[in-house]
Amino acid sequence: MNRLPSWIKQHLAALRAVLVLTAVLGVIYPLVTTGVAQALFNGKANGSLGETGASSLIGQSFSDADGNPVAKYFQSRPSAASYDMLATAASNLGPEDVIDTPDRASLLTQVCTRSAAIGQLEGVSGARPYCTPDGVGAVLKVFPTRAVSVNQACPAQPFVTTYEGVPVECGKPGEDYAAGRTVPIRGGATAVVPPDAVTASASGLDPHISAAYAALQAPRVARERGLPVERVNTLIEQYTTGRSLGFMGEPAVNVLELNTALDKG
Amino acid sequence: MGWLFILSLIVALALVYKPLGDYMHRVYTGTKHNAVERVTYRLLGVQSGTEQRWGAYARSLLAFSIISIFFVYVLQRVQDKLWLSLGFAPVPDHIAWNTAISFVTNTNWQAYSGENTMGHLTQMVALAVQNFVSAAVGMAVAIALVRGFARRNSDTIGNFWVDLVRGSLRILLPIAFVGALVLVAGGVVQNFVGPHDITTLTGNVQHVTGGPVASQEVIKELGTNGGGFYNTNSAHPYENPTAWTNWFEIFLILLIPIAITRTFGKMVGQLRQGYAILAVMGVIAIASIVLTNVFELAGNATVPQAVGAAMEGKDVRFGVANSATFAAATTLTSTGAVNSFHDSYTPFGGMMTLFNMMLGEVAPGGVGAGLYGMLILAVITVFVAGLMVGRTPEYLGKKIGAREIKLASMYFLVTPVLVLVGTAVAMGNEAGLAAMLNSGPHGFSEILYAFTSASNNNGSAFGGVTVNTPWYDVALGMCMVLGRFLPIIFVLALAGSLARQTPVPESAGTLPTHRPQFVGLVVGVTIVLVALTFLPALALGPIAEGLF
């Protein structure tokens, strides 16, 4: 050993260090932690699974095979992962992603479309700022002599007829509007549908909705199930977690627990 | 409520500051080796009693890191032949290479999606181990630099193997074990179950995943690593189930980088020097956290205005404010874990996360890396101040001469060069541009963020960027390796040259480095240096987006 050059000795020591530390930190530590965790917090260590095998921490999609919402259930938030635990994801779309492309709808249009659909499902107004009445992003590309409502493909009726004196046209798919100035139009609408209902979550598995979104859905669920709204509201309250210690996070309604309780009657 | 959340974190960190800082001081300065350590040193075949010059220290560190990269790479490539692979194929070569570098450099950039790429054994034996040891390496380098300041006429700066083993086993391991159990109590999973199917209420199938998550999650935060067990990282309910586990994870992220300033003060024999460094970190960190909260809560951008809140890419249980606090903490340190998706942040909220990394992650920075980064900035500051009054600059009794300031300057220049050159090259070729998800200034921000994150060893991303391509795996891998080890070599060289010096006695002309004046000076130098370096790049990305 002693006759080896020092740089080889150095690397042999390094190799041994990797192996020894791996045994301690990569094998013994996680195994002991698992043992103790399983003994002390069995249910939680195994994923907080309920009677059906589903986890109360993991959100589900309450839609049918075609992707339409099942009306007797409270609906979860939109998810960029479709609640698939093997492909968790967020949308990663930016705050100024407002122009649709042939490949995909812009984030703004996604928000507007969801808002309109939820408005229709719940029988309330789905209108929002920066959204057209037909549920896409209200965005103009402005040129010196004309303006184009880029997200409204012809023959759609543009949401405004003129902008600062120039006429507004509908968008012609395939035409390049990149040279125009992008102007999102706020409009006068006030949103009824809450923010969490029209945005995709971070985890793609968000098990919660806001109290406001639950309240919006309560009349529809009560009607579908022939229950008094008060009963549904009581259940909402029961499955709402407040802020941890009164100041951490936000109040949240667990959708799976709420729907499971409704199914039990 | 969001303010109370921040305040409670500050109070909790203040409570553990002294005990943890003092404990780490004892760990790194103690002369006794316990029984486990003696066995370890015998197995390693190293002389634990012999100290190393800076060159030998650096060579040991590099040898350990190279072998680690090789080991992590091989484990990923043969995972299908080992236990607990969950049936996953070997990780493709370029991704395995990128991931090996990423975890060994404490970056934990993830070009893969955990739940469908890495088997349980790869996660715990390859990745989680590096979460520990890469953190211990960072701490070792910081301690070596502090020894350089503390020692007089010394040729040596410590023994790398002793620092590595003690940091891992005496500091990180005990905190991780207790922390893992706390996380499990909150709902983080800790089992060895593979994906299995359950039927949802509407009759669809959901594949429920498991894994030894808590034991990895805790060290991911504590070691400021950031590599998630699952793709959505600390947003995933199995990694971060409740609002209080979220608080606890932010606490773990900030714990060691903050407390090590006390270790520093104790080692140089003047606690007030540690407080001054802590004050610099604190001023920058609090300003950044508050600004990120303000920008996200204001929600100034078209989509957040249409939505009514910046809720895209955020989970309900955390909400906007606590997500913003996590985002600031993860980029102020070298963590890079995320509980919300920075790509969907408001332009200026997203800019804060970028800016935090561009600061060099010094407030409070990664474990160890934050302290040595900040000490370099302090050295540059006394040099700048020395130029103003025409005196030879000194810090903690050590003269900052030509050699010292050259090393400090080279340290500072490494990351800007990597970030700006890397971004420019990516923007100039097809393979680089193809990665953008968003268009316009935001697409540029995605690329800029990727190179900033890799070069600063952060690991978070504007996640829309598609980086699992050979071009990006190689380019960002190079940034991670150079961004980690070049600065470390400069720091160790600086430590060696400082340790050799005889301290100069304080005189009337010595700049006091423990007063608010000096704290203000360091904050100023840091912000000015970073602003001058990166403002043009930021103007093309988030600023252009935010001010349209």
Interface of A with B in 236-255 (CB under 8 A): 241, 243-245, 247-250, 252
Q: Which residues contact A207 (CB under 8 A, 6 or more apart)?
A: A56, A57, A58, A59, A76, A254, A255, A256, B237
Q: Do B317 and A250 touch (CB under 8 A)?
A: yes
- DSSP collapsed to 3 states, B152-165: CCCCECCCHHHHHH
Q: Nearest CA of chain B to the CA of A230: how many Å?
A: 23
Beta bridge partners of A69: A63
Number of C-beta neighbours around residue A229 at 10 A: 14
Q: Do B346 and A86 touch (CB under 8 A)?
A: no
Q: Which residues contact B336 (CB under 8 A, 6 or more apart)?
A: B107, B108, B109, B225, B226, B227, B330, B453, B458, B459, B460, B461
Looking at residue A2, its pLDDT comes to 62
CA distances from B375 to A232, B61, B360, B361, B513 (A): 59, 20, 12, 12, 11
pLDDT in tens, B403-431: 999 999 999 999 999 999 999 999 999 99
Residue type present at position A34: T
Report the share of chain A in percent with pLDDT over 70: 99
CA distances from B519 to B60, B169, B388, B527 (A): 35, 34, 17, 12
Residues of chain A with Cβ-Cβ distance to B128 below 8 Å are: 25-26, 30
Q: Is B390 exposed, middle or buried (CB count within 10 Å of its CB: 0-12, 13-18, 19+)?
A: exposed
Cβ contact B123:B211 at 8 Å: yes
The pTM score is 0.97
**Minimum Cα–Cα distance from B544: chain A residue:** A96
Looking at the complex, does the CB of residue B449 fall below 8 Å from at least one CB of chain A? Answer: no
Looking at residue B506, its pLDDT comes to 86
- Pull the structure tokens for residue A231: 């009963």
**Minimum Cα–Cα distance from A57: chain B residue:** B237
- Pull the structure tokens for residue B349: 């909220």
Q: How far is CA B23 from the centre of its chain?
A: 22
Confidence category of residue B244, pLDDT binned at 50, 70, 90? very high
pLDDT in tens, A106-129: 999 999 999 999 999 999 999 999
Could you tell me how many CB contacts below 8 A there are between chain A and chain B?
378
Number of C-beta neighbours around residue A173 at 10 A: 8
Looking at the complex, does the CB of residue A89 fall below 8 Å from at least one CB of chain B? Answer: yes
d(CA B357, CA B333) in angstroms, rounded, equals: 8
Range of the domain at B437: 2-546
Q: Is the pLDDT of residue B475 over 70?
A: yes
| Probe site for chain A from B170, B303, B318 (most A CB atoms < 10 A) | B303
Q: Nearest CA of chain A to the CA of B377: how many Å?
A: 31
Looking at the complex, does the CB of residue B183 fall below 8 Å from at least one CB of chain A? Answer: no
Looking at residue A101, its pLDDT comes to 93
Q: For chain A, give the mean pLDDT.
A: 96
**DSSP, residue by residue, A119-183:** HHHHTS----TTB-TTSSB-EEEE-SS-EEEEEEETTSPPS-SEETTEEEEEE-TT---TTSEEE
Q: How many structural domains does chain B have?
A: 1
Looking at the complex, does the CB of residue B180 fall below 8 Å from at least one CB of chain A? Answer: yes
Looking at the complex, does the CB of residue B188 fall below 8 Å from at least one CB of chain A? Answer: yes
Q: Is the pLDDT of residue B276 over 80?
A: yes
* Facing residue for B115 by CB, picked from A85, A108, A207: A85
Cβ contact A99:A151 at 8 Å: yes
pLDDT in tens, B59-111: 999 999 999 999 999 999 999 999 999 999 999 999 999 999 999 999 999 99
> Nearest to residue B386, comparing CAs of B502, B221, B513?
B513
Interface of B with A in 351-410 (CB under 8 A): none
**Minimum Cα–Cα distance from B203: chain A residue:** A64
